[in-house]
Structure 1
Amino acid sequence: MKQKIYGVVPPISTPIDEYERVDEKALRKLIDYCIEKGLHGIFVCGTNGECLGLTQQERNRAIRITLDHVAGRVPVLAGCMDTSTTRVIDNVKAFEQMGGLTAVVTPEFYSRHSTPDETIRHIEKIARYTEADIFVYNIPPFTGNTISAQAVFKMAEFDHVVGYKDTSGQFGEFLRCLNHFKGTDFMLFQGMTQLAGVSLLMGADGFIPNIGPVVPEICLKVYDYAKAGDIEKLKVYSALLLEAQDAFSYAKYGIAACKAACSLLGFMDQRMCEPSEQVTAEQKEKIRQALAVVDKKRCNLEW
């Protein structure tokens, strides 16, 4: 294992200009804000970072900028998922050459023919032909494939496979992983924000909320109170985090909502990679109002 990762690791949005090139200045500003607020890592070019919407050149550029700007201050995870095993291996090797340590990989997608055995073989070959640490990423709505707990147990036997991010929403399967890996170094992260608190209480190493840069203080309180076993305070901040996440429901697309929320904080333009729609002015105002209510409640709690 090249680096231990824990806590709140936001899957950051990727700022882009009118030509869908990475807005380097905005990306560096967002990274600094996340680190200064105390978030524990950066996940670049994940689902929320529109990894498959960017060209390969711009995707690599976003990763390179992130590694350069983070400069070892916190761990960096990078999305290397793609439509075939060979393409993923190429992505991971490019990441390694940039100095990256931890690559995030999903099952292959688009063909939608994967069986559990194919997915296990996919991860096994990636781990065999690369040197980076590998995080397995379970996100069925985007891949069309669901990784079972039993498959995770098998993948964890491969060299370089060091962690698992679960965004399936199937808490029972995640709980099986928590029980199986208890007392080991294998890292388990919850990808569903609404399941963060209970997952941490049951032993998860952290969670990966797209809303992390928007409400970092609330995310950190959820993590801290869960790890401290303070159930009553955890309930309060978990409810507040869920209310903040609900603000994104005013838009059609959660990734666009997150980008709009970041734009409200002055980090970036809200434009999306085509053909994804950005939020409307009316939707953005509703998001702004909802987040303002949440922030007021947070401030009242902390006085």
Structure 2
Amino acid sequence: MTPHPSPTTALARPRFAPFSFPLTGVVPPVCTPLTPDREVDVPSLLRLIDHLVEGGVHGLFVLGSTSEVAYLTDRQRKLVVESAVGHVGGRLPVLAGVIDMTTPRVLDHVREVTAAGADAVVATAPFYARTHPAEIARHYRLIAAASPVPVIAYDLPAGVHTKLPADVILGLAAEGVLAGLKDSSGDLAAFREVVVGARIRPDIRDFSVLTGSELIVDAALAIGADGAVPGLANVDPHGYVRLDRLYRSGDLESARAEQERLCGLFGMVTVGDPGRMGGSSSALGAFKAALHLRGVIDCPATAEPQVPLSPEEVEGVGKFLAGAGLL
């Protein structure tokens, strides 16, 4: 991405990574396999990465929401990034989440993940305290000034309780502060505003707009998205890569059919009983149970205090896999 000078800030601009922007295709947010005592299971993580690479994905996003980043210690975060970068060996770009409550804490993570070799960093807005759009913009400018690699904004209103305004994202893209956006809001209209703005504004170049919503990848591509960051791609990377390829080749009917198959598979996130667990326990537990059933990871444990799936609920995950042709 070519940075653009801006009179609004004197902060230094980042040095950009060797892989090209815009980043396109399927970039799964990689699950973090855990041992029964909730340590990072590195051998399972490396097998999962091989599973994704063999599925044809175009990049990897570690330390995202599907990675259970909020539950990992700093030591575990570092281990995940070092393991992933070392195993990939430059074959694919590795994006690393630097998600935390405040700018100083995020800057600490930026130093750690870039020292470990991450090719880009992914950051939400600050959270816990309410922030003004001007403060969100300053947050990203400070991250970009500290980061030797591109910065991608992560729009996650369900977890951060702040919807990133399109005008803020586009303004930061024009400044050269942001190299991309991962939008997990599910707000297709707001997503479209960013896609269109990035396309028509002459002061924005090589800006990646990626959807994080598993169920609308075909729709996002139709309005101009560069790609997708779907958590379900851990379970079925081939499916999402196939969907991306079919859409880009112009076979829209087959792409629609593939998206609908994946929508059916996504139903696994509802197997957990809402009377005894939250949606995160159900969804992440289902993804990990599916990976365990498929022989990719050794243990389906999720981080504490998430509630594990029951044997009957795991059986339900298996039925979704069988229905999608994955067992």
- TM beyond 0.5: yes
Question: Corresponding residue for 1:19?
Answer: 37
Pairing 1:196–2:225 present: no
Q: Report sequence identity in percent.
A: 30
Among 254, 262, 270, the residue aligned to 1:241:
262
Aligned to 2:13: none
For residues 161 and 133 of structure 1, the distance between their equivalents in structure 2, rounded to whole angstroms, comes to 7
- Alpha-carbon distance in structure 2 between the residues aligned to 1:13 and 1:160: 28
1:231 corresponds in structure 2 to 252
How far apart are residue 175 of structure 1 and its match?
Answer: 0.5
User: Of residues 285, 290, 301 in structure 1, which corresponds to 2:320?
Assistant: 290
Question: Bigger shift: 179-188 or 137-146?
Answer: 179-188
Deviation for aligned residue 1:115: 2.0
Deviation at 1:160, TM superposition (A): 4.5
Give the C-alpha shift of residue 7 in structure 1.
0.7
> 1:202 and 1:62 mapped to 2: Cα distance?
34
Equivalent-residue separation in structure 2 for 1:206 and 1:23 (angstroms): 29
Query: Structure 1 residue 33: deviation in Å?
Result: 1.1
Structure 2 SS opposite 1:212? helix
Does 2:89 match 1:71?
yes
Q: Secondary structure at the match of 1:181?
A: helix
Alignment of 1:53-68 (within 5 A): 53-68=71-86
User: Does residue 1:207 correspond to 2:228, yes or no?
Assistant: yes
Q: 1:123: how far off?
A: 0.7
Instruction: Establish whether residue 129 from structure 1 lines up as the match of residue 146 from structure 2.
Output: yes
Which of 238, 253, 274 is the aligned partner of 2:304? 274
For residues 218 and 301 of structure 2, the distance between their equivalents in structure 1, rounded to whole angstroms, comes to 32
Mapped to 1, the partners of 2:176 and 2:149 lie a distance apart of 10
CA distance in structure 2 between the partners assigned to 1:151 and 1:190 by the alignment: 18
Cα-to-partner distance string for 1:51-72 (whole Å, 9 max, x where unaligned): 1101110111111100000111
Q: Spell out the pairing of 1:64-213 with structure 2 (5 A cutoff).
A: 64-111=82-129, 113-182=130-199, 184-213=205-234
Separation in 1, partners of 2:149, 2:250: 34
**How many angstroms apart in 1 are the aligned matches of 2:39 and 2:317?**
26
Structure 2: where are the runs of 5+ without partners? 2-16, 273-278
TM-score normalized by structure 1? Answer: 0.94
Amino acid at match of 1:245: F
Instruction: For 1:130, give the aligned amino acid.
Output: S
Residue 80 of structure 2 aligns with an amino acid whose one-letter code is: A
Q: Report the Cα distance in structure 1 between the residues aligned to 2:285 and 2:175, rounded to whole angstroms.
A: 36
- More contact order relative to length (CA 8 Å, sep ≥ 6): 2
1:256 is aligned, of 282, 285, 289, to: 285
Contact 1:22–1:58 (8 Å) recurs in 2: yes
Query: Alpha-carbon deviation of 1:157?
Result: 2.9
CA distance in 1, matches of 2:199, 2:249: 18
For structure 1, list consecutive stretches of 5 or more residues without a partner in the other structure. Answer: none
Q: TM-score, structure 2 length as denominator?
A: 0.87
**2:36 aligned counterpart, secondary structure:** coil
2:6 aligned partner? none
Deviations along 1:140-190, whole A, 9 cap, x unmatched? 111111112112112213435200000001110110111111273100100
Residue 176 of structure 2 aligns to a residue in which SS?
Answer: coil
Asked if structure 2 preserves the Cα contact closer than 8 Å seen for 1:201 and 1:227, the reply is: no
Q: Distance in 2 between matches of 1:108 and 1:19?
A: 31
